[in-house]
């Protein structure tokens, strides 16, 4: 092994593994968190990213529906929800209201609706099945990515059905894939301090494993930058990597930055931008079996999302169209998150990457190789 000046032997050994396309261990991952510079992990992560996708950066045209912010759970990090006892301060949308939101996009080339929200006791399995049916009846080609494992766990237990029975019921109604929310941090030492009353890490993983067995692809997330330690992040990613080895059902991993405005953890400082980029880079290096790494720009801010493209990220989500409040209510830089297709394309081209419009499952729809996006697709 060629010695690299100023680089420790342990870091050099990790670099050799990455160069050869070999898997790094949990111990290697901890060394990266504790010892590696931003430039070091960035260089390795970019190598992994380019090996997988070259200069391509993916995005899609999507919008969100958030049925309610009323929630029976009381996660300490959440700035979004209203407890059920104070539900008059929140919102609750009817099926007709949500279908009206879908109809606003009639004639527009959106490919995905993303449906997540609080856990409302009156919005049950039948209610959501009726919602999915209504959307599919109106627009059969629209991909429905809906409900976190936290929502599934509650609605299935309330309906007294198994995870498999509940998922099959919703698949029949029109469910196409599952988002990655609700994972937070799996390790019970941290989970019991930040979100003790909702589904635990084992339950989250079991729901996604069953979804994969039934042919439903999903995403995965991790909430970082609060009270967790590097070891907890690694434990979380290890469990995801092990599940992906078994099922190959995850499309993308999305690190989610903790934001501290208007929640019960406001005293906890947020991570720095440097630490954000290190998180993305190390995730790309460690999660070698995840096809994609996404920077969710409404959470990170568009400039930092653009910066993340140099640290292993190959996806920056979609147009959103100001249809999500989850991160704006927590103090994100993006208080009205919307970007046109032209703006997304420009954002990517400014850092000399190739913008690729995709569908939810990463089938390519269009590459933008010149400097001007098609104005008809704004």
Task: Residue 253: give the domain boundaries.
Answer: 48-377
299/295 Cα distance (integer angstroms): 8
Give a yes or no: residue 32 inside a domain.
no
Residue 104 belongs to domain with CATH number: 3.20.20.70
pLDDT tens for the chain, 378 residues long, are 445 667 999 999 999 999 999 999 999 999 999 999 999 999 999 999 999 999 999 999 999 999 998 888 777 777 655 554 556 667 899 999 999 999 999 999 999 999 999 888 888 999 999 999 999 999 999 999 999 999 999 999 999 999 999 999 999 999 999 999 999 999 999 999 998 889 999 999 999 999 999 999 999 999 999 999 999 999 999 999 999 999 999 999 999 999 887 777 888 899 999 999 999 999 999 999 999 999 988 888 888 999 999 999 999 988 866 444 444 444 445 445 578 888 889 999 999 999 999 999 999 999 998 655 454 444
378: Cβ–Cβ under 8 A, 6 or more apart, which residues? 340, 341, 342
Q: At what angle do helices 163-173 and 125-138 cross, to 10 degrees?
A: 30
Q: Given this model, what pLDDT does residue 373 score?
A: 47
Domain count, the chain: 1
Q: Is 18 among the domain residues?
A: no
Q: In this structure, is residue 34 part of a structural domain?
A: no
Asked if residues 247 and 206 have their Cβ atoms less than 8 Å apart, the reply is no
320 assigned to some structural domain: yes
Q: Answer whether 184's CB lies under 8 Å from 151's CB.
A: no
Q: Is 33 a domain residue?
A: no
State pTM to two decimals. Answer: 0.91
Whether 6 maps to a domain, the answer reads: no
Is residue 24 assigned to a domain? no
């Amino acid at each position: 092994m060629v010695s690299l000046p100023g680089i420790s032997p342990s870091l050099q050994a990790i670099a050799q593994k990455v160069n050869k396309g070999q898997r790094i261990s949990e111990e290697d991952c901890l060394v990266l968190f504790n010892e590696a510079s931003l430039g070091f992990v960035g260089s390795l992560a970019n190598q992994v990213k380019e090996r997988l996708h070259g200069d391509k950066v993916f995005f899609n045209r999507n919008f969100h529906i958030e049925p309610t912010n009323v929630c029976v759970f009381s996660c300490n990090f959440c700035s979004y929800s209203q407890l059920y006892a104070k539900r008059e301060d929140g919102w609750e949308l009817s099926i007709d209201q949500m279908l009206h939101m879908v109809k606003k996009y009639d004639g527009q080339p959106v490919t995905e609706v993303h449906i997540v929200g609080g856990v409302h006791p009156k919005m049950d399995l039948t209610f959501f099945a009726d919602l999915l049916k209504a959307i599919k009846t109106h627009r059969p080609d629209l991909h429905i990515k809906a409900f976190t494992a936290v929502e599934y766990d509650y609605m299935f237990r309330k309906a007294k059905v198994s995870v498999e029975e509940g998922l099959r019921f919703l698949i029949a109604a029109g469910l196409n894939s599952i988002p990655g929310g609700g994972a937070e941090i799996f390790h019970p030492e941290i989970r019991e301090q930040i979100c003790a009353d909702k589904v635990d890490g084992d339950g989250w993983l079991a729901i996604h494993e069953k979804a994969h067995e039934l042919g439903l692809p999903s995403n995965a997330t991790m909430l970082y930058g609060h009270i967790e330690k590097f070891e907890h992040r690694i434990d979380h990613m290890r469990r995801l990597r092990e599940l992906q080895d078994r099922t190959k059902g995850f499309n993308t991993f999305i690190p989610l930055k903790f934001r501290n405005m208007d929640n019960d953890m406001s005293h906890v400082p947020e991570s720095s931008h440097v630490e954000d980029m290190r998180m993305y880079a190390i995730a790309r290096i460690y999660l070698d079996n995840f096809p994609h790494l996404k920077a969710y720009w409404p959470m990170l801010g568009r400039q930092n999302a653009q910066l993340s493209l140099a640290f292993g990220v190959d996806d920056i989500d979609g147009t959103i169209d100001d249809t999500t409040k989850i991160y704006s209510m927590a103090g994100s830089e993006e208080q009205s998150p919307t970007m046109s297709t032209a703006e997304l394309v420009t954002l990517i081209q400014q850092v000399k990457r190739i913008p690729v419009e995709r569908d939810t499952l990463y089938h390519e729809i269009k590459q933008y190789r010149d400097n001007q996006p098609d104005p008809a697709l704004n």
